[in-house]
Amino acid sequence: MHTLRSYITGFILSILLTLAAPALLLWHEATGHVFPTHQELRFAFVILAIAQMLIQLIFFLHINREKEQRWNVAALAFAVMVVTILVGGTLWIMYNLQQGQDTEMGTYINGVVTPQMEDD
Amino acid sequence: MENNLAIKDKNMFGFWVYLMSDCVLFAGLFATYAVLYTSTYGNASIQTIVDLPFVLTETIILLTSSFTVGLAVLAAERGKKTLTLAALTLTLALGLAFLGMELSEFARLAAAGSGPSQSAFLSIFFTLLGTHGLHVFLGSVWMLVLMAHVFYKGLSEGSTRKLLLMSLFWHFLDIIWIFIFTFVYMFGAL
């Protein structure tokens, strides 16, 4: 896998994916925020970031299905799991906390502890 | 494949585990960012900070440096000392250019009265980008040490393996930056 070809392929793909995100944003602004919509654009950005990560992993970090890579892949899978729980769990809990506040605009989130919070 | 030996290496696996734990560190910062990015306290928001051509230049610079560090590894595996040093010099120059741009953005914000102490958003913005920048800086120091090693002692199996570990670190920082680019800047520009 350590070949000039793999690095060049990875480099070209990563540049294209990087340019795709702002290109989509310009398209979004050119069509007056109609297509792609905000939601579609967010979705596209996430997909592009994941694709970019996979390209870097495969072409630059040489992660593959070969036997000697098995433990590296296992560590990677574990890290992905921890990251998913950490980020997903944080967003889930903090969103619900914000919803649960009956004071003005998410005061807990804004770093101001409300009287109810101090009682906890 | 001369490289298979290095891949099987325990050092390699140990370093990989370190990279994955660093991943978790950044995940914590990203989660905090996601929670706090609207908490601007009347100061600068991400929408006012983001400068797309600027950040796109930073991204292209870092991606190119990721490519050139790969070239350095290829040259080292083939025993080409001068080519290795040339590729490393180019990578280091690109890394420092990236750091310079990041610091200039920090300085611009601080001069405009939007330093890290002004709001929860600015705190996490500076922390997230600063932590990545600190990694790039330490990677640059590591690269400089390896360049001196290769320059004076020449290429050996040991120096090539060290170079390979350093390249993993550099590619990893590239991946982290892609997520900063997407979730901070692209989402912010939306």
DSSP chain B: -TTHHHHH-HHHHHHHHHHHHHHHHHHHHHHHHHHHTT--TTS--HHHH--HHHHHHHHHHHHHHHHHHHHHHHHHHTT-HHHHHHHHHHHHHHHHHHHHHHHHHHHHHHHTT--TTS-HHHHHHHHHHHHHHHHHHHHHHHHHHHHHHHHHH---HHHHHHHHHHHHHHHHHHHHHHHHIIIIIIHHH-
pLDDT more than 70, % of chain B: 95
Contact residues on chain A for B167, CB-CB shorter than 8 A: 60
Mean pLDDT, chain A cut into blocks of 10 residues (120 residues total): 85 94 91 84 94 92 81 92 95 83 52 46
Residue A120: what pLDDT? 42
A 20-39 residues with CB below 8 A of B? 21-22, 25, 28, 38
Smallest CA–CA distance, residue B153 to chain A, in Å, is 24
Which of B175, B177, B184 would best serve as a mutation to test chain A binding (most A beta carbons within 10 A)? B175
B113-145 residue pLDDT tens: 999 999 999 999 999 999 999 999 999 999 999
- CATH code for the domain defined by B4-189: 1.20.120.80
Which of B17, B67, B84 would best serve as a mutation to test chain A binding (most A beta carbons within 10 A)? B67
Task: Using a cut of 0.80, tell me whether the model's pTM lies above it.
Answer: yes
Mean pLDDT in residue range B96-108: 97
Smallest CA–CA distance, residue A100 to chain B, in Å, is 15
Contact criterion met (CB < 8 Å) for A18 and B178: yes
Residue A117: what pLDDT? 44
Residue B105: what pLDDT? 96
Contact criterion met (CB < 8 Å) for B70 and A60: yes
Nearest CB partner across the interface for A68, out of B7, B34, B172: B7
pLDDT more than 90, % of chain B: 86
Domain boundaries in chain B?
A: 4-189
B60-96 residue pLDDT tens: 999 999 999 999 999 999 999 999 999 999 999 999 9
What is the ipTM score, two decimals?
Answer: 0.87
